[in-house]
Each structure stands twice: as structure tokens, then as C-alpha cells.
Amino acid sequence: MSTNTEKLVVMLEMQNAMNTKVHEKWFAQGFEWYRAIWVECAEMLDHYGWKWWKKQTPDTEQVILELVDIFHFGLSLRIDGKTSFAELAKTLDDELAKPTHADDFKQTLEILAAKAVANKQFDAHAFAGCMVQIGMSFDDLYRGYVGKNTLNFFRQDYGYKAGTYIKVWDGKEDNEHLVEVVKSLDTGANDFAKQVYEGLKARYPAN
């Protein structure tokens, strides 16, 4: 199993765990993950810029964050409760290694959105094409995905739903603390997600 495939298994496991927090048998509920993908694509265009009648500069950092969000939905769409994560990861790895893209990022994003609307599927080839055209590496995807997923778990564990969670401490939002924690760690570590969680926990003022 390649390193990327192993990381995809980790992401699939994390996605399943987060979705299970919402509903124990979430994959049998028919949640419209495909709709979340195309809506996210539309929102991302505003960050990238598409209006020819005014000057716009792509917010690359925000676009990358939005792509990470789309990957959450893409993973959710692939999990069926039957196929092993190892098998799903191998298929995704193969597809991501063969990017499909149009002349520019906007058009490639539309390919991704079109497959979600017309076929209710996650087009990993087009997603990889978006990554290539925005300058996003697989490591960027993995680091961004694990970081955000772990922060979501951390928020829940420390009272986010109850309204007792502290979002800003030491003059920084939790997202900023997350970025600092992630940058200090080795994304290749087998327990990367656990290290991210422990890093946040060590900084959090409620300890």
C-alpha cells in the first residue's frame, strides 16, 4: 500500500467517525453529499473570482480550504458501509493520480460540479485537476483535512454544542492555533491526527 493510499485510509476512517457522530447509520440515510459538493463549488468561485466586469484576485488560501471541505463530502459519498476503506483508498489514490482538467481552474471546477449534479458522484479526477491548477499538493490536502476534522472533534469534546467552548485564547482563534500545531508536526506520522488533537489540548485554557 502506497503512502498516499495509507493516508487516504486514515481520512476515510476519520470521515466515517465524524459522520457517525451525526447519525450512527449515516450511510443508510441518503444524505445528499453530492449537493454539498456542487454548492461548495459555486461558493468557491466567489473566492477564486469569475466576474469579468470587475477586477478580482484569486484568494488561493481560501480556495484550498474550500477544496478540503469538498473532499470531506467526496469521501462521504464514496463510503457505502460495505466496501473496505483499503479498497476505497486504493481506488481514490488511482483516480487522484490521473487528474482531469480543462483550460483553466474555473472550467475544471465546473466539471467537478457537473458530475455531482448530473450523476450524484464525486469526480476525483476533476478534483485532482483543481488541485493541480491551484497549486495544491496531496500533502496540503492531507494536512488540511486531518487538521480540520480533528479540530471539529476537539470542539465537540470541549463543549461546542453546549456553548461552553472557548474559541479564542491567547489572542488567537482556534483555527490559528490549529495552523501552528499542524506546522510543527510530521504529517507522515502514523498518529498524526492524535498528535494534532494533543497539540490543541495542550494549548487550550480549560486544562
Q: Which is nearest to 106 in space by CA: 64, 45, 155?
A: 45
Distance (Å) of CA 104 to CA 109, 115, 132, 133, 141: 9, 17, 11, 7, 20
Q: Which is nearest to 63 in space by CA: 84, 41, 79?
A: 41
Domain finish residue from 136, 169, 189: 136
Q: Are residues 132 and 164 in the same domain?
A: no
DSSP classification of residue 168: E
Which regions in the chain score pLDDT beneath 70?
Answer: 206-207
* pLDDT given at position 49: 87
* pLDDT given at position 207: 61
Q: Are residues 66 and 123 in the same domain?
A: yes
Contact 123, 137 (CB under 8 A): no
Q: Which helix (H) or strand (E) holds 55?
A: none
pLDDT, tens digit, for every residue of 47-106? 898 888 888 888 888 888 889 989 999 999 999 888 999 999 999 999 999 999 999 999
Q: Are residues 193 and 155 in the same domain?
A: yes
Q: How many domains does the chain have?
A: 2
Q: Are residues 76 and 101 in the same domain?
A: yes
Q: Are residues 106 and 151 in the same domain?
A: no
Q: Which helix (H) or strand (E) holds 35?
A: helix 33-48
pTM of this prediction? Answer: 0.84
CA distance 97 to 79: 20
CA distance 53 to 201: 47
CA distance 104 to 52: 14
Q: Are residues 123 and 168 in the same domain?
A: no
Q: Can you say how many angstroms the Cα of residue 73 is from the centroid of all Cα atoms in its chain? A: 8
